[in-house]
Chains A and B, each alone.
Chain A
Amino acid sequence: MFLLVLALFVTVIVSLNIGYAQIPFPDILGILGKQIPVLNGLIDSSLISPQNTAIILQIRLPRILAGVLVGAALAAAGVLYQGVFKNPMADSYVLGVSAGAAVGASLSILSGVGFAFLGLRLVQVAAFVGAVSAMFLVYNISRVGSRVPVATLLLCGIAVNFFLFAVVGLLEVVAGDELHSIVFWLVGGFSNVLWRDIWAILPFILIGIVASYFYARDLNLLAMGEETAHHLGVNVEKSKQILLVLASLTTAAAVSICGLVGFVGLMIPHLTRLIIGPDHRILLPTSTVIGAIFLVICDDLARVVATPFASTLELPVGIITMLFGAPFFIILFKKKKQSYAT
């Protein structure tokens, strides 16, 4: 675990080095060090150009941190959903969160209003609101009395997803010039992330991940089946409800700043489980960190891959996650599938 966190740090630092402007590592460390009060006095700032400081702190760092947060959020939410649903196909978008966000974002893009709410762009707010509303819609449709059976939840989620994506399709047809923006948002990317976006989603994601960790043992027990979990002392309906709300809020927050980044929420939990086994108390934090590392690296690739062709062109990170993540997962799966009998 410690090694993983270290790996995340290294990934972040290395990622700060990647980009059009070549900034050497010592400078990067110096710039970062200056931000930490204790180290401030120890660093000779004369060697660091203010231009580089701006690139690192205002452009690259927020973008990379967004990658960390979103990757962590989607992977953690994926673990929660797969645990609650006991279904390997469940991912962080299973409750209609993605489709809700997509409808919200598409509508706001079409409205052409760029208005800001507490400094946030309308697209983000709309995506978040759409995601959360879709989640509550699905949850309430599936409720049978005071219980929410997993099967109905899954089916309602899929139905609502299809419906809302049909709405998105309609919006795309009438979008005209805005089509490109919608498509770009749907695939997901970090190109416009600012510090205030980070601050806006940080509490949701932090609280979501930390709070769900306290339910990691419940997730283990839920994996035994809901009735068994109940016999072993879990308040099944309450735990399920809390876990689903936490997962959905986390996902909604992540999706709101970067669009629909696929694959992370589905595959990172599986990948982590292949490596360290099914115990959610280890699986959840490990997945979170691996998700963060994975998404940051993917974003690096997104920035770099297209540069030889055009210096300003960059790919949406969602394409990278799927393009590189899927084959990687398949290779790993083929190697270790024996031990992965679900």
Chain B
Amino acid sequence: MVLLNVDGVECRYGSVKVLEDVNLKVEGGDFVGILGPNGSGKTTLLKSISRILKPHKGTILLNEADIYSLKSVDVAKQMAVVPQDTSIGFNFAALDVVLMGRNPHMKRFQMESEKDMAVARKVMNLTNIWHLAERPINELSGGEKQRVIIARALAQEPKILLLDEPLTHLDIINQLEIMDLVKDLCVKENLIVLAVFHDFNLAARYCNSAIMLKDNKVFSAGSLTDVLTSENIKSVFHVDAIVKKHLVTNSIFVIPLSPQKSSPSRKCSIHLICGAGTGTALMKVLLDEGYSVTAGVLNVLDTDFETAQFLKIPVTSEAPFSPITEKTHKANLAMICEASTVVLTSVPFGYGNLQNLEAALAALERGIPTFVIEEVPIEKRDFTKGKAKALLTELKSKGAESVKDQNELLSMLNVSIEKFKTAKEERDRILDHLKPEETKIKGAGEKS
């Protein structure tokens, strides 16, 4: 059983620390994903393991032997690297490139033997490139070239395979085929695989453990499910992400949301009356625009409810699949009173949530500006035999603004806020005039 032990490794370029206190213990059959943002030290870690960058402190042991005390040839028999940059200076034939992987197994004065040819043939069949054997490497497509490089690494018959973003140039089918192959070897031949990934989902699909780097240190390490959590992704990558287990592949999958925009807070809160997923996209957009958002009434387990939970939006909620009770309705009204604007989405109405329309009406009566998004005509989503339609018509007749979609809503919101601002400025100006004379004189005195 091969054992790779990275112990307290620290690397520097000059006086700049690029890797600090990394510990890692892997054995045959482990498929370890190395995750982290750009510049977090992923490639540096691979470089120090592959003997390119000698650690300043700490040791890297390959089967108990310090890897830096071994000869290049002996390490190359055990460890192969698929680099990020695969440009090749001279135009060798694909087979010749793969045969170069046999170098560590050949003596200086030896030509390739039958066995070397057999190995090359085997790995080229595995990577599905035997038919390209005689083709010059620089005439191959990106995917084919990458397969040649991987075949070369496999020709070394390594026990450890280091992959530095091996899938950058590949389309989806090539990515899956190559990773399937590597995973297969990892399981069957007890290979150690260490791979730098930028794609969480590929990492999640193939790795059984992972190490996540942040600021040149290990932020989290262990089994994949422990490392790849939305909390970790949030604090390392500063991206909100939904992490779930996929029903088909049975591996976890990650949906990154776009990074939080740092638009200035508008000091303006919006209450969403939504449900059944009609508010999900809007919640994120409004937050990004700098509004503070509340929502209700939503049933627990409703898509909008889950989104609100995820985005940490305050919600008035009702028990799953239950009609809105008087108590929740009142709580919702209380929440609405705090808001400066109410937005009603194109949510379908049944007897269970009809009260939400009444809540909107109540808001309007209290002078809170109310917007109605009518992406879907009310006839198609009214399951209350016209009651909802009647309420909506009443709402509009009492001054609720109707908008056709999210974009229109956003521009209307901007206008109403501008209006609000101008009104405020106007009021301030008037107030200014009414201020006592002495302050004005004082100001003029300072000038002269």
Contacts and interface: CB of A to CB of B under 8 A. Distances in A.
A342 B90 contact: yes
A162 B72 CA distance: 37
A224 interface: yes
Nearest to B71: A235
Contacts of A223: 88-90, 92
Nearest to A239: B72
Contacts of A231: 50, 76, 79-81, 83
B8 interface: no
Interface string A220-254: 11011101101111111000000000000000000
Nearest to B76: A233
Contacts of A217: 103, 106, 108
Contacts of A235: 71-73
A151 to B, nearest CB: 14
B75 A341 contact: no
Interface stretch (B94-102, B196-204, B402-410): B94-102
Contacts of A279: 92, 96
A221 to B, nearest CB: 6
A338 B373 CA distance: 62
A232 B80 CA distance: 7
Q: Tell which of A217, A233, A279 has the most Cβ of chain B within 10 Å.
A: A233
A35 interface: no
Interface in A64-95: 86
Interface string A326-342: 00000000000001111
B142 interface: no
Nearest to A228: B83
A72 to B, nearest CB: 21
Interface string B45-57: 0000011100000
Interface size class, chain A? 20 to 34
A278 B138 CA distance: 12
B72 A227 contact: no
B77 interface: yes
Nearest to A279: B96
A273 interface: yes
A145 B194 CA distance: 30
A275 to B, nearest CB: 13
A2 interface: no
Contact of B108 (A86, A214, A225, A339): A214
A228 B153 CA distance: 10
Interface size range on B against A: 35 or more
Given A214-B109, A233-B77, A341 B103 contact: no
A277 interface: yes
A234 B103 contact: yes
Given A221-B100, A225-B83, A341-B139, A234 B72 contact: yes
B87 interface: yes
A261 B72 CA distance: 39
Contacts of B323: none
Contacts of A273: 90
B90 A232 contact: no
A278 B91 contact: yes
B91 A339 contact: yes
A232 B101 contact: yes
Nearest to B97: A224
A236 B109 CA distance: 18
Given A230-B51, A235-B72, A225 B85 contact: yes
B146 interface: no
A233 B74 CA distance: 7
A233 B72 contact: yes
A234 B87 CA distance: 18
Contacts of A227: 52, 81, 83
B51 A233 contact: no
5 contacts: A224-B97, A228-B81, A232-B100, A235-B71, A342-B90
Interface of A: 86, 214, 217, 220-221, 223-225, 227-228, 230-236, 273, 277-279, 339-342
Interface of B: 50-52, 71-77, 79-81, 83, 85, 87-93, 96-97, 100-101, 103-104, 106, 108-109, 136, 138-139, 152, 156
Top 3 A-B pairs, shortest CB-CB distance: A233-B76, A233-B104, A278-B90
Given A86-B89, A221-B100, A223-B89, 13 more contacts: A217-B106, A220-B96, A224-B97, A227-B81, A228-B81, A231-B80, A231-B81, A231-B83, A232-B101, A233-B75, A233-B76, A233-B104, A236-B72
